[in-house]
Amino acid sequence: MHVSIENLAESGFEIPGKNEEEINLGNLNKEYLERCLTRRQREVASFLFDGYTRKETAKNLTPPVSLQAVHQIVLRMRRRLTTKGDIHYYG
């Protein structure tokens, strides 16, 4: 999985009350995100953090989905990270 807490921070998400030393462990990142996001949300996030556009992400998912579906997945992902992961989005 290419999604990490560092990727989230670069994309405008913030984990309040956590310093870099507390969240910089690879296994913690993976477990934390697996707990907060669904498999599909992690898949979409991985494409986006690798530099794909939402349109490219939609075409590369298996099975491919519409651009609108990717928009909805991202919205739900932000909501889940905010409620389950105590992560705030500032983008």
Q: pLDDT tens digit string along 16-44?
A: 555 554 444 344 466 777 788 899 998 99
Domain ranges of the chain: 5-89
Q: Which two tokens stand for residue 66?
A: 């519409």
- Structure confidence at residue 90 as a pLDDT band (50, 70, 90): low
Mean pLDDT value of segment 64-77: 93
For the chain, what is the mean pLDDT?
75
Question: Which CB contacts under 8 angstroms, 24+ apart, belong to 4-8?
Answer: 4/29, 4/30, 4/33, 4/49, 5/29, 5/32, 5/33, 7/45, 7/49, 8/81, 8/87
CA 47, chain centre distance (Å): 9
pLDDT of residue 35: 80
